[in-house]
């Protein structure tokens, strides 16, 4: 079983990633840590509690982390995920009274978990603020972490929040550089690959055919999430970014890419948060990251459906 910490900012695709991981008995979720990103921290924590409540996994401990990036002002994505970060067309999800956030801070949870266990995989699907703070607080954790598989960045693709930058990295580029320079093995699930994992009505209906309440929530989440992509890009499909991280944890053979140097622009306002990837090996900088750029998306969605059929 792979021990992971999910570091999230739910977010529709984060929510699907949580459900995907929770359904997989190959994965041991040590805890879910939340960060401000798609919405403010108050919302991302509530949304994580809601998703775990919905799938009857109130045994999963949830921790609140950073409410703002290290140096910059928080930018949210309410234009994609709605004002509360997880608007959808289904019934409101009720969190049981006794299911509360843990008192421990997310950063302390990450530090303590990584000091006590060797071989944890960190799975960030939001801005990297919590992970960077954990590294700054206890640099020794870098030797114990198996790898960081993160959703963020764009190597050869244009940005989705500015022409140059992907949202998660743009929100906290300084945190990203701390993580990328940490020498922890990195796997980047950037827009290069997540834009090949496209969810449309055919896929949504296929998952809905499972007939459980989680498949209905999937439909309700994707219905809202796809409004932005339909209106902005006049397309019938939307990239399912964050679940790619869990897909990789479950079966990395579905994905391909190559090792390259990865560094983030943190000075220029024009290209702030751009992931500069040395794909053509034109520098002598160390190859610090497996940059994923392709995926077998048919089998990815097959795996997602298999796991969703195990949920309530
Ligand atoms: C990333 O930004 C967020 O809106 C999504 O949850 C995903 O993590 C995609 O750029
Ligand atoms: Ca996210």
> What domains, with CATH codes, occur in the chain?
2-308 (3.90.245.10)
Question: What pLDDT score does 89 carry?
Answer: 86
pTM exceeds 0.95 for this model:
yes
Which H, E and C letters describe 30-63, residue by residue?
EEEEECCCCCCHHHHHHHHHHHHHHCCCCCCCEE
Residue 241 among the catalytic residues: yes
Question: What pLDDT score does 77 carry?
Answer: 94
Q: Write the Ramachandran bin of 85: left for phi over 0, alpha for psi from -120 to 50, otherwise beta.
A: left
Atom of ligand 1 nearest to the CA of 160: 10
CA–CA separation, 125 and 241 (whole Å): 8
pLDDT tens, residue order, the chain (312 aa): 999 999 999 999 999 999 999 999 999 999 999 999 999 999 999 999 999 999 999 999 999 999 999 999 999 999 999 999 999 988 999 999 999 999 999 999 999 999 999 999 999 999 999 999 999 999 999 999 999 999 999 999 999 999 999 999 999 999 999 999 999 999 999 999 999 999 999 999 999 999 999 999 999 999 999 989 998 889 999 999 999 999 999 999 999 999 999 999 999 999 999 999 999 999 999 999 999 999 999 999 999 999 999 999
Residue that the structure tokens 């900012």 belong to: 9
State how far the alpha carbon of 118 is from the alpha carbons of 77, 81, 102, 108, 250, in Å. 35, 35, 23, 16, 19
Decide: 38 and 76 in contact? Cβ < 8 Å.
yes
Best residue among 15, 40, 43, 152 to mutate for probing ligand 1's pocket (most ligand atoms within 8 Å of CB) is 152
Q: Which of 81, 88, 229, 241 is catalytic?
A: 241
Q: How many helices, marked H, and strands, marked E, lie in the chain?
A: 12, 12
């Amino acid at each position: 079983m792979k021990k992971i910490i999910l570091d999230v900012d739910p977010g529709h695709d984060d929510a699907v990633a949580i459900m995907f991981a929770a359904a997989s008995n190959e994965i041991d979720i040590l805890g879910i840590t939340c960060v401000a990103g798609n919405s403010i921290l108050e919302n991302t924590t509530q949304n994580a509690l809601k998703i775990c409540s919905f799938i009857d996994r109130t045994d999963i401990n949830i921790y609140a982390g950073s409410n703002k990036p290290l140096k910059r002002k928080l930018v949210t994505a309410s234009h994609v995920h709605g004002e509360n970060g997880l608007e959808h067309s289904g019934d409101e999800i009720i969190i049981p009274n006794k299911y509360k956030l843990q008192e421990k801070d997310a950063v302390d949870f990450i530090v303590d978990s990584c000091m006590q266990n060797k071989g944890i995989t960190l799975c960030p699907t939001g801005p990297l603020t919590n992970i960077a703070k954990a590294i700054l607080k206890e640099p020794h954790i870098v030797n114990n972490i198996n790898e960081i598989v993160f959703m963020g960045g764009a190597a050869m693709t244009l940005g989705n929040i500015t022409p140059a930058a992907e949202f998660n990295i743009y929100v906290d580029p300084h945190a990203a550089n701390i993580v990328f320079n940490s020498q922890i093995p990195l796997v980047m699930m950037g827009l290069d690959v997540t834009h090949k994992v496209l969810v449309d009505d055919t896929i949504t209906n296929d998952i809905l055919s499972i007939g459980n309440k989680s498949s209905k929530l999937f439909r309700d989440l994707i219905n809202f999430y796809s409004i932005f992509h339909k209106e902005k890009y006049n397309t019938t499909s939307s990239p399912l970014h964050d679940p790619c991280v869990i897909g990789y944890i479950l079966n990395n053979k579905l994905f391909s890419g190559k090792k390259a140097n990865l560094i983030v622009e943190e000075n220029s306002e024009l290209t702030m948060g751009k992931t500069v990837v040395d794909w053509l090996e034109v520098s002598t900088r160390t190859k610090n990251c497996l940059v994923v750029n392709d995926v077998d998306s048919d089998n990815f969605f097959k795996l997602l459906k298999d796991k969703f059929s195990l949920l309530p």
